[in-house]
Amino acid sequence: MSSSFELSREHEEFRQSVREFAEAEIAPHAAQWDRDHHFPVDVVQKMGKLGLFGLTSPEEYGGAGEDGDFTSLCVAIEEIGRVDQSMGITLEAAVGLGINPILSYGSDEQKQTWLPDLVAGQALAGFGLTEPGAGSDAGATRTRAELVDGEWVVNGAKQFITNSGSEITSVVAVTARTGTLGSTEGEGKAEISAILVPSGTPGFTAEKPYDKLGWRASDTHPLTFEDCRVPEANLLGDRGRGYAQFLATLDDGRVAIAALAVGCIQACLDLSVQYAGERQTFGVPIGRKQGLAFQVADLEVMVHASRALVYRAAAMKDSQKTGLGAPVKDFKQAAAVAKLYATESAVTATRIATQVFGGYGFMEEYPVARFYRDAKVLEIGEGTSEVQRMLIARGLGLPVE
C-alpha cells in the first residue's frame, strides 16, 4: 500500500458494516451503560466475532492477515466511537495496547498462548505503563521486578490502566525496573523491561474501578503488585528494552486515539446539523442564524481536516509493512500531528455541539452531554497535547525539552 491516504472502496464498505453494527448493537444502550458504569462484555465479544480485534493480526492467530491493516482498525475505531467513545477506547486499547506489544515483541510461545483469545475478542489485555508518579515521564517508573530463582518478583503500582480488570482480562504487560544500566557520568540509569503478568496471579490485584468523568463504560483500574511472581519466560521482548518498546507502541496508539476523536467530531456534527434544522426560535430553525450556522460549519472543517491527518498517518504505518514505506521518523511526526489536532478539535467540537443544543445540551438525556464528558481525556491519554507539541517541535529540529 502506498502512503496515499485516500480510503479504498474496501475500506468504505468495511466502514458501512461497522457502522451498521454500532448503530444496532451499541447506540441504543450507550447512554444506559454510561449511567451505570457498565462494561458490556457480551458486546465486546460480539465485536470480536465481527473480527474487529484481529484487523492487524496474522491469520495464524485468527486475525485478518492480508485482508486487514492499521487503516481498517482506525476506520472501526472511528465508527464505534461515533456512537460510543467508551466502546471505541475499549477497541483501541485492546488492539493498540493489548495485542500490539505481544504481536510485536512476544516470543512464539507467548504469541501462541495469548493472541488467539485476544484476537477473537474472547479475552482482553492491558498495558501497564502509567504510575502514580510516572505519567508523561514514563521513564520515572518505580515498579520493580527482580529475578529470583527463575521467576520475576514484581512489586509496585500502576494507574489508569484500560481493560485491566474486566472479567475477560487475561494478561497485563507491565513495565518495571529490572536493574541499573551503567553510565559514563557514574550514575546508573534504570533498566526498564516489560513483563507479562496473567490475571489471577497471586499478588496481582486490579483495584476498584475508577469513578470517571467520561469513558464510564470502559474498564479502567489501578493495579497493585505485591511479591507477584511470574516465570522468567514472561519477559516481553528484550530485557532493558521495555521503555523503548512501549514508546513505539504509543506511536500507533496516537493515531488510533486520533481516529476515536474523529468519531467524536463526526457525532457532534451529525447531532448539531439535525438539531439546528429542527429546533425553532423566533419562528425559524436555529440553523437560519449565522452565529450558529457558522459554528456548525467549523465542525465540518474540523472533521475533514482531522480525518485526513488520521488516515494519512495510518497509510504511512501500513506502507511500512513492505519495508519500502515512510521513514519511521516521518510516521512519528504524522502520528503526533494527527493526535494533537484531532483530539483538541474533538474537545472544541463537543463544546460547540453543547452550545448548539443550549440548555438541552447540559442534560444527560442528550448524547452531546456524554460526548462533552468523554472528549477531554482524548487530549491526555496516549501522550498529552503538551507531549505531542514537544515531539512535533523535536521533529522540526528544535532542541526543546
> Is residue 401 within 8 Å of residue 391, measured between CB atoms?
no
CA atoms of 129 and 158, how far apart (whole Å): 7
Q: Which residue do the cell numbers 496473567 mark?
A: 198
What cell numbers appear for 168 in the block? 475477560
Name the residues annotated as catalytic.
382
Q: What own/partner pairs with CB < 8 Å and gap ≥ 24 does 9-17 have?
A: 11/71, 11/72, 11/75, 14/72, 14/75, 14/76, 15/75, 15/78, 15/79, 17/50
CA atoms of 381 and 76, how far apart (whole Å): 19
Choose among 11, 99, 105: nearest CA to 61.
99
* Angle at 289 (CA atoms; ends 288, 292), nearest 5 degrees: 115
Burial class of residue 176, CB neighbours in 10 A (0-12, 13-18, 19+): buried
CA atoms of 103 and 90, how far apart (whole Å): 18
Which residues have C-beta within 8 Å of that of residue 368, sequence separation ≥ 6?
A: 268, 271, 350, 353, 354, 356, 357, 361
| DSSP symbol at 69 | -
Which residues have C-beta within 8 Å of that of residue 173, sequence separation ≥ 6?
A: 98, 101, 102, 125, 126, 127, 128, 194, 195, 196, 197, 236
Ramachandran angles phi, psi of 246, nearest 5°: -70, -35
CA atoms of 240 and 176, how far apart (whole Å): 9
Ramachandran angles phi, psi of 253, nearest 5°: -60, -30
Secondary structure class of 124 (helix, strand, coil) = strand
> Is residue 264 within 8 Å of residue 349, measured between CB atoms?
yes
What cell numbers appear for 133 in the block? 508518579
H-assigned helices in 171-326: 242-278, 290-319
